[in-house]
Structure 1
Amino acid sequence: MVEIVSTSNEEIDVNLGGGLPIPSLMLIEGEHGTGKSAVAAQFISGMLKSNMRVLCITENTVNDYIKKMKTITFNFSEAFLNNDLTLLSLHINGTSWSKEQALQLLPSINKYIKEQSEKFDCVVIDSLSFVTAYSDMDKVLDFITSCKYLVSSGMSVILTMHQNSMPQEVGLRLKAACDVYFSLKSSRIGDQAVKILNNIKMIGANSPPEASFAFNIDPVFGIKIIPISMSTV
């Protein structure tokens, strides 16, 4: 049964038709600098405030991730210390992934998530592009199938991805499998630089969501909706 969970940002909730449909498979896609990690962090914040247990797999170190999120108002330190938020870093100081190791990265993560699934209500992978850089198509498709199974079992999966970082066929399969698909881009409204969230697909919303909205990331207020007509973009 799908429930609606607040993102902990009332403006975003309104634009999304009430909040996030849970459980669901969500994809946040966009070029570098479009706010993918910030949007994912906003969703993590809402889930934690709804007493959900979250696993976040990041290409940053744990310390760097917590510091980075704190600069945009998301203080995950307490949730991390209380084990409500588990951070799994793919970054090892002083080393780099060999191609052979990278080939095993996605299958290893897939196996870990399945084995630990009962401990978490949501898993976030930020970013899938890093994890799948050397993966072959079959392994990525196996992972997508596993994600759908996890969602059917009650867990939500949130994936961030750089635009066009996968072969077209695989990318299309992933987008078709998703319950929620957001496409982010940078733009300008007048002389103001903004980020745009295009709501491509959202199954299970309480009410019809906005097709798109503009926002900025403020170090004091976090994600702040820009109340300007999208017709000017």
Structure 2
Amino acid sequence: MISTVSTSNEEVDRQFGGGLPLPSLVLIEGEHGTGKSALTAQFMKGMLDSRLKVLYITTESNIKDYIAKMKKITFDFSHPFLQNRLSILQVQADGITWSKKLSKYLLPVVSRYMSINLKKYDVTVIDSLSVLSMHSDANTVMDFFTRCKYLVSNGMSIVMTLHPGAVSEDVALRIRSTCDGYLKIQNAIVSGRSVKVMEVVKLIGSSSQVTSQFSFEVDQNFGIKIVPISMANA
């Protein structure tokens, strides 16, 4: 049964029709620097505030740096981490250079880890899928998403980020069609102001009307901050 979980940010909840529908498989796609990690952190805050157990899989930071980085934009995950409500899995160890041969095994290993921990976590967040999939063939990537759909059908929500071009366009199209939610983010100048523009391509299970497109900033004192500027001036 799908229910709506608040993101712990009223402005963001309003754009998403009341919050994030769970369980669901959500893909967030955008270039580097478009606020993907900040948005996933906002989602995680809401989930943790709702007493859900979260597994965060990072390919871009170590545990200490991630917690410190998120704290700078108001997301303090240190307490849920120490309370074992948030677990952080660091895929890339310091000092290790992944070869193409080794990297192709990352996605199946992560998939297996998620399956083993199906009953332990309510939500898995992967930031980002790009590193895990860049040396995987199309069948491996689609097998991973088939496994994700199975996990979602058994109650685990999955949120992941992806850079455009990380997989072939054919695979990307198949991935997007598989997901319950597909969000696209890009940097833009709106009325002379630099903002992030979010397009909600689809979000199955929302409790009310979803805003199809809106702009936001990543504010150090507020986290995700909706910018009420008409897109007609873009």
State the TM-score bracket (shorter-chain normalisation): over 0.9
- CA distance in 1 between counterparts of 2:63 and 2:95 reads 15
Partner residue in 1 for 2:97: 96
How many residue pairs are counted as aligned between the two chains?
233
1:66-145 correspondence runs (5 A): 66-145=67-146
Partner residue in 1 for 2:160: 159
Partner residue in 2 for 1:13: 13
1:1-233 correspondence runs (5 A): 1-59=1-59, 60-233=61-234
- 1:10 shift after superposition: 0.3
- 1:164 shift after superposition: 2.1
- CA distance in 2 between counterparts of 1:129 and 1:91 reads 13
1:68-89 per-residue CA deviation (whole Å, 9 max, x = no partner) reads 1111110000010001000000
- CA distance in 2 between counterparts of 1:161 and 1:40 reads 12
SS where residue 117 of structure 2 aligns?
helix
Query: Counterpart of 1:208 in structure 2: which amino acid?
Result: Q
- CA distance in 1 between counterparts of 2:18 and 2:167 reads 31
What are the ranges of 5 or more consecutive residues in structure 1 without an aligned counterpart?
none
- 1:189 shift after superposition: 1.4
- CA distance in 2 between counterparts of 1:139 and 1:177 reads 15
1:183-224 per-residue CA deviation (whole Å, 9 max, x = no partner) reads 000001122100001000011111111011100001111111
SS where residue 55 of structure 2 aligns?
strand
- CA distance in 1 between counterparts of 2:93 and 2:130 reads 18
SS where residue 149 of structure 2 aligns?
helix
- CA distance in 2 between counterparts of 1:106 and 1:226 reads 36
- CA distance in 2 between counterparts of 1:85 and 1:127 reads 17
Percent of paired sites with the same residue: 48
- CA distance in 1 between counterparts of 2:97 and 2:42 reads 29
1:74-123 per-residue CA deviation (whole Å, 9 max, x = no partner) reads 00000100010000001211221122211110010011110111100000
Q: Which moved more, 1:177-186 or 1:90-99?
A: 90-99
- CA distance in 2 between counterparts of 1:14 and 1:190 reads 23
SS where residue 118 of structure 1 aligns?
coil
Query: Counterpart of 2:5 in structure 1: which amino acid?
Result: V
What TM-score does the superposition give when structure 1 sets the normalisation length? 0.98
Question: Which runs of at least 4 in structure 1 moved beyond 3 Å after TM superposition?
Answer: none
SS where residue 163 of structure 1 aligns?
coil
Query: Counterpart of 1:2 in structure 2: which amino acid?
Result: I
- 1:28 shift after superposition: 0.4
Query: Counterpart of 2:16 in structure 1: which amino acid?
Result: L
1:127-165 per-residue CA deviation (whole Å, 9 max, x = no partner) reads 000111111111101000001001100110001000121
SS where residue 17 of structure 1 aligns?
coil
- CA distance in 2 between counterparts of 1:52 and 1:230 reads 35
CA contact (8 A) 2:191 2:229 kept: no
SS where residue 38 of structure 2 aligns?
helix
CA RMSD of aligned residues (A): 0.8
